[in-house]
Amino acid sequence: MIKLLVLLSAITLSINAFAQNPLAKSLQKLHGRVVLIESLRNAGHFIDAHESSRAKVTGCPQSELVQTVWSKFIVHYVGTYDSIKGWDNEMGLIVLESLRFRDHYLDMHDSKYGVSHHVNLTKAMVTPKDQTWAQFGVVGTNLDNVALRSEKWTNRWLDSHTSGFLLGTMSGEYNPPSATWGRFKFRFSAEISVTSNEVARLENFTDAPVKKTYEYKKGVSTSTSSTFTKTLEFKVEAEKNFGAGAFASGSVKFGASTNLQWSDNLSQNITEEQVVKIEVDVPAKTRYVISQVRGSYGPNVRIGSTIIQTKSEPIR
């Protein structure tokens, strides 16, 4: 009985720790989402899935973040650290997959750069959630200022190094670096918003039903000359990130800025823009106000959904 009570107490403590852990909650909400990880040492510089297979930290203008694929990673949430390893309740455990090179994951590698370790991109056919080389503990209060610790060598922390490489540099196992070389910010490549926009008013002033037609645009359009919105990488990013509910972590906002629900079938919406024509029967003495749910991904990308809302008003 005593052992059972101790076990139940341990489970309760773990649950309470998770409930009190805003960072772990935020990381769990980012599971499956596409993020950028920005250096606080060098603002505007991001972890780079470089073609050399050595991870780097590279600068990118704000205006190019949406179409830049090397800076994007899919978050695979493993769990709360306190429930896995017994440390404090400020750490969540994740694996990071490159969007540029799918099935390639950040790896705290054996190879050295001076006294530090290189961070490589290593291929795995199955997400290596149980492999310490790919696991990173995320420590902090909010996602706008975190440190990332290797679980392969728990005294190695990600380092936005002056060499331009992303390295694993020594700090105490339970002593995350406070200096900016070891501090990072998670973010999306663009702010997401979702709104409902009127696309048509269909009015029938007669005493009998009348067929009327309206049209709307569905799919992706951009106000720039970039063709990135036509790529598989953008389709993956948009589908994953538009599915995120709105939440904030410190100064960083994720997901849609309204409480409107995006379509469950996002793949139908992340296509090249096209005009859709719909014919409806408008009842006698009735006005239909037709609205479409539309999204934006930053200032230049618009996405028209297949969610159509019809409001019926009597005409007197």
What is the C-alpha separation between 185 and 45, in angstroms, rounded?
Answer: 11
- Which residues lie across from 184 on neighbouring strands? 39, 146
What pLDDT band is residue 11 in, cutting at 50, 70 and 90?
very low
What is the C-alpha separation between 27 and 153, in angstroms, rounded?
Answer: 22
What is the C-alpha separation between 31 and 77, in angstroms, rounded?
Answer: 5
> Is the confidence at residue 18, as pLDDT, over 50?
no
Domain assignment present for residue 5? The answer is: no
160 and 283 assigned to the same domain: no
What is the mean predicted confidence (pLDDT) over 39-47?
97
Domain assignment present for residue 12? The answer is: no
Domain assignment present for residue 213? The answer is: yes
Domain assignment present for residue 8? The answer is: no
Q: What is the CATH number of the domain that holds 121?
A: 2.80.10.50
| 255's tokens | 């997901």
E strand or H helix at 59: strand 56-59
128 and 171 assigned to the same domain: yes
28 and 96 assigned to the same domain: yes
The predicted structure's pLDDT at residue 262: 65
Sign of the CA dihedral with 121 first, then 124, 126, and 128 last: negative
164 and 266 assigned to the same domain: no
The predicted structure's pLDDT at residue 22: 81
SS3 200: strand
137 and 150 assigned to the same domain: yes
170 and 210 assigned to the same domain: no
The predicted structure's pLDDT at residue 306: 86
- Which residues lie across from 76 on neighbouring strands? 95
Closest of 78, 147, 152 to residue 117, by C-alpha: 152
What is the C-alpha separation between 251 and 25, in angstroms, rounded?
Answer: 16
- Which residues lie across from 299 on neighbouring strands? none
> Is the confidence at residue 3, as pLDDT, over 50?
no
Domain stop point among 167, 187, 207: 187
The predicted structure's pLDDT at residue 149: 94
> Considering its fold, how many domains does the chain have in total?
2
The predicted structure's pLDDT at residue 214: 97
Domain assignment present for residue 10? The answer is: no
What is the C-alpha separation between 25 and 273, in angstroms, rounded?
Answer: 35
Domain assignment present for residue 291? The answer is: yes
> Is the confidence at residue 300, as pLDDT, over 60?
yes
Q: What's the pTM value of the predicted model, to 2 decimals?
A: 0.86
Q: Could you tell me how many helices (H) and strands (E) the chain has, helices first?
A: 4, 19
Report DSSP letters for 245-304, one per residue. PPEEETTEEES-SSSPPPPS-GGGTSSB-EEEEEEEEEPTTEEEEEEEEEEEETTTEEEE
Domain assignment present for residue 240? The answer is: yes
The predicted structure's pLDDT at residue 6: 39
What is the mean predicted confidence (pLDDT) over 195-222?
95
29 and 145 assigned to the same domain: yes
Domain assignment present for residue 3? The answer is: no
List, for residues 130-185, the tens digit of each pLDDT value. 999 999 999 998 999 999 999 999 999 999 999 999 999 999 888 899 999 999 99
51 and 66 assigned to the same domain: yes
Q: Which of 26-35, 77-86, 218-227 has the lowest mean pLDDT?
A: 77-86
List, for residues 81-135, the tens digit of each pLDDT value. 655 555 554 678 999 999 999 999 999 999 999 999 999 999 999 999 999 999 9
Domain stop point among 152, 187, 222: 187
The predicted structure's pLDDT at residue 19: 42
Torsion of CA 218, 307, 229, 37, to 10 degrees: 170
CA angle 67, 250, 77 (to 5 degrees): 65
179 and 220 assigned to the same domain: no
The predicted structure's pLDDT at residue 115: 94
Q: What is the CATH number of the domain that holds 264?
A: 2.60.120
The predicted structure's pLDDT at residue 2: 46
162 and 48 assigned to the same domain: yes
The predicted structure's pLDDT at residue 170: 96
Domain containing 176: what range?
A: 19-187
List, for residues 219-278, the tens digit of each pLDDT value. 999 888 778 888 999 989 988 888 677 888 989 988 876 656 665 566 677 888 999 999
Domain stop point among 134, 155, 187: 187
39 and 177 assigned to the same domain: yes
139 and 272 assigned to the same domain: no
What is the C-alpha separation between 18 and 6, in angstroms, rounded?
Answer: 18
> Is the confidence at residue 15, as pLDDT, over 80?
no
